Each structure stands twice: as structure tokens, then as C-alpha cells.
Amino acid sequence: MPKKPIAITVSTNFADVLPRVLQANQGLFAHWYVVTGHQDLETQEILQEYQDSVTTLLFDFQSLVDTSRPRPWRPRFNKGGALQLAQRRAYQEWPNDWYLILDTDIIVRNTHDLTLEQLDPQCLYGPKSRFDYRSWHDYQEHLPWHCRPIWQESMNVIGCFQLYRYHFVYEDSVDTRNDGDFSLRWPLSRRRCLDITVDHLGYHE
């Protein structure tokens, strides 16, 4: 039986989208770690229904203070720290596997190229394209607002789907889309696109 990756997702205040993502992606992963906030009881309740295949981790997202901004300093949303928590847990419990960082509003449309045995462990893999939808209705009707091709030369939106093998971890970060993005750990020569399309739910301009 082909091996499946270990998925890692941060999900807080996405209770409207999360059940659909869990259902759509169920069965694609060997195990799934989902990090949510201590106060996000609605997300925790949703995840209880998937406790056989999903491990719920609780994190204080306001644990990071960004001193680069003018005073008064306020806590910032530390998504990087939450990802780090799940990564360390995954590496401990599944030390010899592939890992997939997946955004909480991403549905993997096709997986025929997700054959881990054929991938290079020194590379970072992302999807070939991503379709953005403004609503669940638009997704059901396949009415995307936008389609983003993810070129190997830039991999500019790889953050939503990052498949890798080595035990690197995120740093504490208030913005994983820019200087804190995990994908920047890999040189361009080691970034690859899989023949996979993902759907991004609830996208807004």
C-alpha cells in the first residue's frame, strides 16, 4: 500500500469551512495534526468527530509580541509557533515520513501524483495550480473567482500546500506569508510542482 503523508494544519475561527475540508480530505493522510486556540471550542468540538485520525493540539496564538512596531506593543497572531508545535509532535511520533503543511481552507482535488516513493527527499513540493472560491456555493458550482498557476520558478503561493521530508520547523512568526514562510528555506532549484490542483474556499479580494 502506498505511503501517505502526515498532514499539519492550523485552524482557528474557521468552523464554517473546517468540516467540509476534513470530509473532503479524509483518507488522504496517514494522520492529521490540527492546531487550534484554547478558546476555540467550536473547532475543538468539530475535531472530536475525527479523533481516530486527527490529533488536536491547543496553542496560545497571542504568545508573540512584535516589538518591531511602535508602542504600545500588542500580542500578534503567532501562526509560525503553532505550526512548530505540530511539526515537533509529528516528527516525534512519525519520524520517517513525509509531511504536508495544509491551510485550513484547502481541499486537495486530485492525488494521482502524490506517490511519495517517487519524490526527492531534498525537495519541497507544492501544487501545480490553485482555484480560489468566494463561497461554498461557488465551489459546488465550480465557479472560481481566480485560478493561480504555481510556476516552479517562483512557487509564489506554495504556502497553502507544502510537502516535504526533512525535519525543518517554522520559527515564531506573525506573518508566514512573507519573511516567515517555510518555503523560503528551500532554494529555487529544490522546489517542485506536483500535478495536483487544490481548491481554496472562502477567498476574498
pLDDT class of 42 with cuts at 50, 70, 90 = very high
User: For the whole model, what pTM was predicted?
Assistant: 0.85
Q: Cα(193)–Cα(161) distance, rounded to whole angstroms?
A: 10
Residue 180, pLDDT score:
47
CA 84 vs. chain centroid, Å, equals 12
Work out whether strand 54-59 and strand 75-76 pair parallel, antiparallel, or are unpaired: unpaired
Separation in Å, CA 90 to CA 4, 5, 103, 184: 14, 11, 17, 21
Residue 179, pLDDT score:
45
18/155: higher pLDDT: 18
Residue 87, pLDDT score:
96
CB atoms within 10 A of CB 111: 15
Beta strand segments in 50-93, E: 54-59, 64-65, 75-76
Residue 84, pLDDT score:
92
Nearby residues of 73 by Cβ (< 8 Å), 6 or more positions away: 65, 66, 67
CB-CB contact of 183 with 170 (8 Å): no
Residue 74, pLDDT score:
56
**101-155 confidence digits (pLDDT tens):** 999 999 998 666 567 888 999 988 888 888 888 888 888 888 888 777 665 445 5
Residue 172, pLDDT score:
75
Half-sphere exposure of 99 (CA within 13 A, CB side): 26
pLDDT class of 32 with cuts at 50, 70, 90 = very high
Among residues 99, 83, 101, 80, which one has the least CA distance to residue 91?
99
Secondary structure class of 34 (helix, strand, coil): strand
**47-70 confidence digits (pLDDT tens):** 999 989 999 999 987 766 555 655
Copy the grid coordinates of residue 104.
485550513
**164-205 confidence digits (pLDDT tens):** 998 988 877 755 555 445 655 677 778 888 888 899 987 544
Separation in Å, CA 95 to CA 3, 88, 99, 162: 14, 10, 10, 17
Task: State yes or no: pLDDT of 161 exceeds 50.
Answer: yes
